[in-house]
Every structure is written in C-alpha cells, then in structure tokens.
Amino acid sequence: MHTEKGEKSESLKFRKKQPSELSRLTPDAFARSEKHPIVLCADNIRSGHNIGSLFRIADAFSLESVLLGPQCASPPHPEILKTSLGAHQHVPWIQTEKMSEALSQLKDRGYSLIGIEQTAESVALDHFIPQKDAKYAFVFGHEVYGISQEILNCMDTCLEIPQSGVKHSINVSVAAGIVVWHALFASR
C-alpha cells in the first residue's frame, strides 16, 4: 500500500476516521440541539487551559452551559482560545460576580449542587448513582486550594474521585471529564 505521496506504508489494521466521518453538529445545529441538564461550574479556577477544557467537555457531551466564578480566567484569554478550539463560541457561558448567588439560582431551577472535592463527607464517585432526568451543577475548584469554603457550604453533596497513587489530586479538567462521563453513561 502507498500513501498519497507515493511512500510505501504498512497495511492498515485500523483506519482513522476523517473529520467528515465524525457526524459532528454545525454550531447552528448544536445551538438548537437538546442539551443534557448539566452545568459545569468553576470556582476560582485560574488556568485558562482548564477553563478551555471545560468548554471542550461541555461541547463534547452537549451540556447545558459553563458557569465561571469572578476570579476565573475567561474568554478571550489566549489559553482558553487555544484549548477550547472554539467551543467557547457556541457553548453558553456566563461569568458571575457572585458565585454563591448564581448557584442559588441554579438550585431554585431544580439543579443539585455537587462539589467535586475531597471532604470528610464526600461520596466516592463510583458510589454515586446518577438519577435519570436529574439536573446537576458540578462545581470544580481552584487548582491548588479546591472549592472555597463559602461555595462548599452551598453544596447539596460532594463527590470524590477515588485515587490510589502518590499525588492527592488530579487535574481539574481531567476530573471534569471523568465526572461528566460517569453522570451520563455509568448508569446505562
């Protein structure tokens, strides 16, 4: 077998799909599509890379929106633009001046406020059984200090991702991907 440039190549065991084969939505179709009732909330996350990844996760899983606290990096921060690959342009988002008030409004709209944090009362993620048709606001905190105590006090519950290595935590965006996947697919 030869490549487009005439170079000899190995036979294909797996063929990578072309972007046109991925059945992705256009931005207009995404805007009109049904979303999972999940809001990704960032409490004091400073890294533009982490915020950009939250937008990518919200896009990949068709989540309702992203909520950024007042101290968070926000578009058009260059790191967000690089990491989000444009997802920030079609995933609805707001940056609030008062995170506790924004979370209270989500609670009033029927969302369960769930902190992703290591607390004495946290439920292990593998013991969390997502409820069908439930609305979730998953709150992620600062890269070093976690969720602020003021915001923790607003939570209905906290989840912790079980870990067995040396380090006591994983990257915010990695945690968000794990939690969202679990919420959407673990109970199927």
Name the residue among 35, 154, 50, 33 with its Cα closest to residue 99.
154
Low-confidence ranges of the chain (pLDDT < 50): 1
Q: What is the predicted pLDDT for the residue at 168?
A: 86
Q: What is the predicted pLDDT for the residue at 1?
A: 47
Distance CA 93, CA 41 (A): 10
Give a yes or no: residue 131 inside a domain. Answer: yes
Q: Cα–Cα–Cα angle for 34, 39, 40, nearest 5°?
A: 130
Give a yes or no: residue 3 inside a domain. Answer: no
Q: What is the predicted pLDDT for the residue at 94?
A: 98
Give a yes or no: residue 17 inside a domain. Answer: no
Give a yes or no: residue 19 inside a domain. Answer: no
Number of other residues whose CB lies within 10 A of the CB of residue 53: 23
Instruction: Name, in order, each residue with C-beta under 8 angstroms of 131's C-beta and a sequence gap of 6 or more.
Output: none
Name the residue among 167, 187, 185 with its Cα closest to residue 177.
185
Supply the CATH number for residue 74's domain: 3.40.1280.10
Count: domains in the chain: 1
Q: What is the predicted pLDDT for the residue at 51?
A: 98
Q: What is the predicted pLDDT for the residue at 8?
A: 61
The domain of 94 spans 26-185
Give a yes or no: residue 47 inside a domain. Answer: yes
79-97 pLDDT per residue, tens: 999 999 999 999 999 999 9
What sign does the dihedral 34-37-43-45 (CA atoms) show?
negative
